[in-house]
Chain A
Amino acid sequence: EDQVTQSPEALRLQEGESSSLNCSYTVSGLRGLFWYRQDPGKGPEFLFTLYSAGEEKEKERLKATLTKKESFLHITAPKPEDSATYLCAVQDLSGNTGKLIFGQGTTLQVKP
């Protein structure tokens, strides 16, 4: 059964303190791994898609990496505006082509 586990559940950082969020996944065949950002009262906002082990994507202070079993979202020198819940999701090669299996998210708080 496809499964996605994110850790930690919550993370508090000081502004400028770099860290990483983890997403471990179990899937029979990976079509894609997705990172989303969710702000309170809003829907998930797309950040990155990763398709194969070794792939990396960057956007401003965020960098996502992928191995065969997990993905990391590295946050370099975070700012308070980076505070949000970060969701990881996988799409299986089998099954319906629209479904994403989501982890429960990591809630990041960055203090000034």
Chain B
Amino acid sequence: EAQVTQNPRYLITVTGKKLTVTCSQNMNHEYMSWYRQDPGLGLRQIYYSMNVEVTDKGDVPEGYKVSRKEKRNFPLILESPSPNQTSLYFCASRAPAQPQHFGDGTRLSIL
């Protein structure tokens, strides 16, 4: 089954403790993105990648890092999380000229 898999699905952590949210897709897609979804603000792009070793900032990249060492994986790294990064995060992937497929989300709470 074609899918985008995120882990963990839920995480409660504390300020400053580094964390990584993994994202993996099994569709051999070139493009991958991370979004955050906040009430009243909708979905906003954090980072995207057009292929292995090619990444760039989206609209809200501050406080986040990404890497794309393999085509299937696109982890999101919060090196020093802060409470304003409490949000619902989605990873997405797509093939050229095709719509994005989204994972089921990761709900992060940073205390």
Contacts and interface: CB of A to CB of B under 8 A. Distances in A.
A94 interface: no
Given A34-B99, A49-B99, A99-B33, A104 B41 contact: yes
B58 A99 contact: yes
> What is the predominant secondary structure among interface residues of chain B facing chain A?
strand
Contacts of A97: 31, 50
A69 interface: no
Interface size classification for chain A: 20 to 34
A15 B93 CA distance: 35
A54 interface: no
**B interface, how many residues as a size bin?**
20 to 34
A104 B45 CA distance: 14
Chain A CB within 10 A, most for which of B32, B33, B43: B43
10 closest A-B pairs by beta carbon, nearest first, are A43-B102, A102-B43, A98-B48, A104-B42, A46-B99, A102-B42, A98-B31, A44-B102, A99-B45, A43-B104
Given A42-B105, A44-B43, 10 more contacts: A43-B102, A46-B100, A97-B31, A98-B33, A98-B45, A99-B33, A99-B48, A100-B100, A102-B44, A103-B42
Interface of B: 4, 31-33, 40-45, 48-50, 56, 58-59, 90, 92, 94, 99-105
